[in-house]
Amino acid sequence: MKGQLAQRMSRTKKSFIREILKVTQNPDVISFAGGLPNPDYFPIEPLRAAADRVFAEQGRQALQYAPTLGYEPLRAFIAQRYTDRTGMAVAPDEILITNGSQQALDLVAKILIDPGDHVLMESPSYLGGIQAFTMYEPEFVTIPLGEDGIDTALLAQKAAHPQSKLFYALPNFQNPSGITYTLETRQAVSQILAENETFLIEDDPYRELRFMGEDLPPITSFNRERAFLLGSFSKIVAPGFRMGWICAQPSLMDTLITAKQGTDLHSNYVSQLIIHRFLQDNDLDAHIATIRAAYKAQREIMVAMIEECFPPEVTFTLPEGGMFLWVTLPPQLSAMDLFEAAAKQNVVFVPGAPFHVGGTGGNTLRLNFSNTTSEKIEVGMTRLAQAIKQMMLKEVIR
Amino acid sequence: MKGQLAQRMSRTKKSFIREILKVTQNPDVISFAGGLPNPDYFPIEPLRAAADRVFAEQGRQALQYAPTLGYEPLRAFIAQRYTDRTGMAVAPDEILITNGSQQALDLVAKILIDPGDHVLMESPSYLGGIQAFTMYEPEFVTIPLGEDGIDTALLAQKAAHPQSKLFYALPNFQNPSGITYTLETRQAVSQILAENETFLIEDDPYRELRFMGEDLPPITSFNRERAFLLGSFSKIVAPGFRMGWICAQPSLMDTLITAKQGTDLHSNYVSQLIIHRFLQDNDLDAHIATIRAAYKAQREIMVAMIEECFPPEVTFTLPEGGMFLWVTLPPQLSAMDLFEAAAKQNVVFVPGAPFHVGGTGGNTLRLNFSNTTSEKIEVGMTRLAQAIKQMMLKEVIR
């Protein structure tokens, strides 16, 4: 309407997490809220050396306009890593470099979603996915997660609907729940989607952060026809570069390139060359092993503190990797009320409600264990346990 | 529809220019096609030094997730430059850092355009703008450019339509035509848009590349209420960083932030800090003066070659800045045919048709004079003149 913003913006909300992050600037606050990697493990000096080499040796190329797909040697590196590690043969031209996974979500949504299309979502799901998709005005259809991943019986039912356009899955150490799909669930999901001609967006930023159990193949590896597999350097190198990618077959890639051209021509080329130089001159696997060991130790302290201090009525997930634990309070308790009580005691987390599209999940919350220290986990979890106990006590008295 | 891509993608075409650029990899080809700045003037060593300082002094901050608006000191620099040079007081929070101007176009389109809304466009207009807007399914309404800028009488008529949502203007050294709006046209445009509650997207990437005449205030400076002013470091520092911005009032900025969050969280933070460091440690004005002098000299040689070698039936614009000349062939000639003939003689340009949405402009073409040398201009323009003369001769014989 004249003089007014577009309809789609009336449905889109600011990120509650990013709003919380603003509040946590106070150094006394212990935050389990952000989804931030631990900056202690940023490879600052190796990246400094890589940047220096790029400016010295490839300055003119790095600073000029560049191909939409991205820097070919970087795409070849990513493709080769998939080929070596997932048994899925990927060619360099099947990789499009994006501004982090978040832009990948936006681009795929842009080329897939017509208003009213059904987007099948895990419940809970990643807030950034909900935000990206909302702008293309779909109808969200939620399917609960269990210990083995998505409820496949319900997925089959929902995918059969004539408007089921796509299923959005985070099968490894999901944000926010920490849940991982079993091999059987992955295979079943792939088959259900093929039978129903439903697209797959497989969002996989934490794949390399597994610290127990065995790597499992991407859902995409079983059938690539309508699948978009998303990856990122944010968790294994650094998020400040905003560097992610989409892996998709050529038939889909053509349309993605058109969308990427109209959206921002191409991703930051200087940073693509710096990351590629870093990958050539350093041992990525050794670097990732360091991150994994640190996150594993922090996750173990957090779990130990929950087991020691939280009331037994509170349940939680045991992630095999990634950066998050998911906590479920007794049904009568509100995680939003707990947030306010805990913030007063200088500890914060993200209430679960924003990760749900249907207004459920009011008694759930997400805890981040990557961007903190063992000491802070001990102090912060003690404070959080106290706040929970006080709330439960009030409930009993009331 | 199930199994199919979104409707919007059926309307969107790949960039013809980016396709041409692929062809021009042959070193024998002289290209006036790209809209590329001259890499001879990229400040490679100063940027190398800036990058080194950022990694050494601010590595942890640069590499982490960051605020959606962008790096505050960089936004303050941009805001201050507007305040000092345009008489328009801009606050740092009125600047959002984007992945080049192209993402700025996408974000503003995203928050403004509902399907069927009228987008008023200059004819010809910037291809990337047409691409960005097309994905939100507007109806394009074209208004011809004259020597003084947009035809304001026609703009007033088209803006009065109840669905006229926005006007897209490139008032300085327009891409592709090189035309600049007069002061009177700018004031008239601002008033027409205010009267009709029509938004303004003022795309201004070439502002600082004026090499003759006097700077003129942005249209936005006369009325900021519904105005988005877009700028970029691509032409004054380097495009490889993909670093641009939107200047808008807080009432609009709030919605832009929501859109930016859902689209890619925030722009590359490492590069924001590097560019800011570069701006602190170097004299930007001296750097821009060098670029201006070079482009001015190249433009003068190109104009001299046209005057010397082209048939008098061929007309052209005389830009006061920027990177492009616009050539109009006699109406019976096709610039697409000329492209094929010229490519055989190893000289290329961009035919004008893709810059028009209505299928007109078949006898027009764009010449870039920034990304070349005086020698190449002389050789390339001689070849092009020959190709034109041969085509005209054939026309006469036919």
Nearest to residue B81, comparing CAs of B241, B239, B267, B279?
Answer: B279
> Are B16 and B33 within 8 A, CB to CB?
no
Contact criterion met (CB < 8 Å) for B258 and A9: yes
Examine the pLDDT at B358 and tell me if it is beyond 90: no
* Conformational region of residue B265, where left means phi above 0, alpha means psi within -120 to 50, and beta covers everything else: left
pLDDT value, residue B394: 84
Q: What pLDDT is stored for residue B21 in this prediction? A: 67
CA distance to partner chain A, nearest, from residue B332 (Å): 32
Three-state DSSP class for residue B141: strand
As a whole number, mean pLDDT of residues A115-122 equals 97
pLDDT digit string (tens) for A74-99?
999 999 999 999 989 999 999 999 99
Q: How confident is the model at residue A149 (pLDDT cuts 50, 70, 90)?
A: very high
Interface probe, candidates A102, A200, A264, A273, chain B, greatest B C-beta count within 10 A: A264
Q: How many whole angstroms separate alpha carbon B332 and alpha carbon B314?
A: 12
The pLDDT of residue B382 is 97
pLDDT of residue B359: 81
DSSP states along B207-253: GGGB-SS-----GGGG--TTEEEEEESTTTT-GGG--EEEE--HHHH
Is residue A118 scored above 90 in pLDDT?
yes
Question: Which tens digit of pLDDT belongs to each residue from B91-141?
Answer: 999 999 999 999 999 999 999 999 999 999 999 999 999 999 999 999 999
Domain boundaries, chain B: 7-42+286-397, 45-281
Is the Cβ–Cβ distance between A203 and A101 less than 8 Å?
A: yes
Fold of B45-281: Aspartate Aminotransferase; domain 2 (3.40.640)
Q: Is the dihedral of CA A75, A235, B254, A121 positive or negative?
A: positive
Please check whether residue A314 is in contact with residue A330, taking contact to mean a CB–CB distance below 8 angstroms: yes
Would the pLDDT of A261 be above 90?
Answer: yes
Residue A253 in contact with residue A94, Cβ under 8 Å?
yes
| Structure confidence by residue, pLDDT tens digits, B13-54 | 666 666 676 666 778 899 999 889 999 999 999 999 999 999
- Reply yes or no on whether the pLDDT at A22 is more than 70: no
- Which of the residues A1, A5, A15 would you substitute to probe the B interface, choosing the one with the greatest number of B C-beta atoms within 10 Å? A5
Which homologous superfamily does the CATH classification assign to the domain defined by B7-42+286-397?
A: Aspartate Aminotransferase, domain 1 (3.90.1150.10)
Q: How far is A354 from chain B (nearest CA, A)?
A: 14
B226 contact residues in A (CB cutoff 8 A): 3
> How confident is the model at residue A351, as a pLDDT?
94
pLDDT higher than 80, residue A24? no
Task: Using an 8 Å CB-CB cutoff, list chain B residues near A66.
Answer: 240
A9 with B165: Cβ contact below 8 A: no
Cβ pair B348, B29 in contact under 8 A? yes
B396: confidence class by pLDDT, cuts 50, 70, 90: confident
Region B201-219: what's the mean pLDDT? 97
State the Cα torsion B303-B309-B311-B317 to the nearest 10°: -10
Binary contact (A100, B42; C-beta < 8 A):
no
What are the strands, taking DSSP E only, across A294-341?
315-316, 324-328
Taking one residue from A and the other from B, the number of pairs with CB-CB distance under 8 angstroms is 250
Q: Please give the pLDDT value at position A14.
A: 65
Do residue B262 and residue A135 have CB atoms under 8 angstroms apart?
Answer: yes
Which residues, in sequence order, are CB contacts of B342 under 8 Å at separation 6+?
A: B348, B349, B383, B384, B387
Q: Does the distance separating the beta carbons of A106 and B9 come in below 8 Å?
A: no
Q: Tell me the C-alpha to C-alpha distance, in Å, between residue A258 and each of A244, A271, B236, B300.
A: 18, 22, 27, 36
CA A382 to chain B, closest CA, distance in angstroms equals 27
Residues of A in contact with B164 (CB under 8 A): 2
Query: For the domain with range A49-281, which CATH number is right: 3.40.50.150, 3.40.640.10, 3.40.50.300, 3.30.930.10?
Result: 3.40.640.10
Name the strand (E) or helix (H) holding B368.
strand B364-368
pLDDT exceeds cutoff 90 at B211: yes
Q: What pTM does this model have?
A: 0.96
Q: Which residue of A has its CA nearest to B238?
A: A63
A341-351 pLDDT, tens digit per residue, is 999 999 999 99
Q: Is the pLDDT of residue B195 over 90?
A: yes
Instruction: Work out the pLDDT band at B2, boundaries 50, 70, 90.
Output: confident
Using the beta-carbon criterion (under 8 Å), do A51 and B52 form an inter-chain contact? Answer: yes
Q: Which residue of B has its CA nearest to A21?
A: B67
